[in-house]
């Protein structure tokens, strides 16, 4: 695997001083009809573990999923991670901080949403604890109905919450945190501090992260099409996985192998 692949041409040159931040769904992984149906290719897990080892642990997953869900997908390594768009965050030492503002309101709203969406085949309400996501990937014709119901709920919850219009999903979450805030918190801590931040994402929720990365003069990379403030583009998750495999190979050069020999 090399960075000379046509899919990777025009992307930034690799560097050993990166702090790497990665969205998951639609970035590392191909979408599935339901979030629990995604597949993690074994080669991706291996490449992430190599990058984590060779990059001194400066790799974090930044996702809308629970941190516990990220562990299920990418274990046994427990990567630094921001879950639920930064509302929960585990640092490199394994310490987890959770912002639970509005959790009770979200819980009650999730129940009401499920009642309203019942009977809409292909619509799935996911209660994540601190956020609610309404997926309509299996029923794209119901987008306007889903949008109407979630906007009505947002009005009831008040200004402390926001609605994210994502990739075949509407998500309601507290305004207090976003992926940009999460990345900025990581960048003040070891092993990320002093490194060049790199963030790869694909969706509306990643734009806060791209904006922060741009302010830090880092590398922001958008997966797929659509308007974005990201400064680079990559076609799809398959290309991201190819890019990460080449980065893992780059980092491995000059490092001792398992047998003690130096990788050329």
For 197-241, the DSSP string reads EEEEE-SGGGHHHHHHHHHTT-EEEEESSS--S-SEEE--HHHHH
Cβ-contact 94, 81 below 8 angstroms: no
52 forms beta bridges with none
Q: CA-based angle 53:68:236, to the nearest 5? A: 65
Instruction: Identify the active-site residue in 4, 15, 23, 101.
Output: 23
Residues in Cβ contact with 33 at an 8 Å cutoff, skipping those fewer than 6 apart: 137, 138
Q: Is 206 one of the annotated active-site residues of the chain?
A: no
Is 150 strand, coil or helix? helix
Residue numbers annotated as active site? 23
């Amino acid at each position: 695997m090399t960075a000379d692949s046509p899919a990777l041409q025009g992307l930034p040159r690799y560097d050993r001083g990166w702090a790497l931040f990665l969205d998951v769904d639609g970035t590392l992984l191909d979408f599935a009809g339901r979030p629990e149906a995604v597949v993690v290719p074994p080669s991706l897990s291996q490449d992430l573990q190599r990058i984590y080892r060779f990059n001194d642990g400066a790799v974090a997953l930044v996702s809308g999923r629970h941190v516990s869900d990220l562990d299920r997908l990418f274990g046994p390594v427990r990567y630094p991670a921001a879950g639920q768009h930064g509302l929960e965050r585990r640092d490199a030492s394994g310490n987890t901080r959770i912002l639970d503002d509005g959790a009770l309101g979200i819980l009650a709203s999730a129940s009401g949403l499920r009642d309203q969406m019942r009977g809409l085949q292909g619509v799935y309400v996911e209660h994540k604890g601190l956020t609610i996501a309404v997926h309509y990937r299996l029923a794209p014709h119901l987008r306007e109905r889903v949008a109407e119901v979630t906007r009505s709920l947002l009005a009831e919850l008040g200004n402390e919450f926001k609605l994210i219009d994502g990739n075949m999903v509407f998500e309601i979450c507290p305004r207090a945190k976003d992926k940009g805030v999460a990345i900025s918190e990581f960048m003040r801590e070891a092993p990320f501090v002093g490194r060049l931040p790199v963030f790869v994402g694909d969706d509306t929720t990643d734009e806060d992260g791209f904006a922060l990365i741009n302010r830090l003069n880092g590398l922001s990379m958008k997966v797929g099409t659509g308007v974005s403030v990201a400064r680079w583009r990559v076609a799809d998750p398959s290309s991201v996985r190819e890019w990460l495999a080449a980065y893992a190979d780059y980092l491995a050069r000059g490092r001792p192998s398992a047998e003690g020999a130096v990788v050329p």
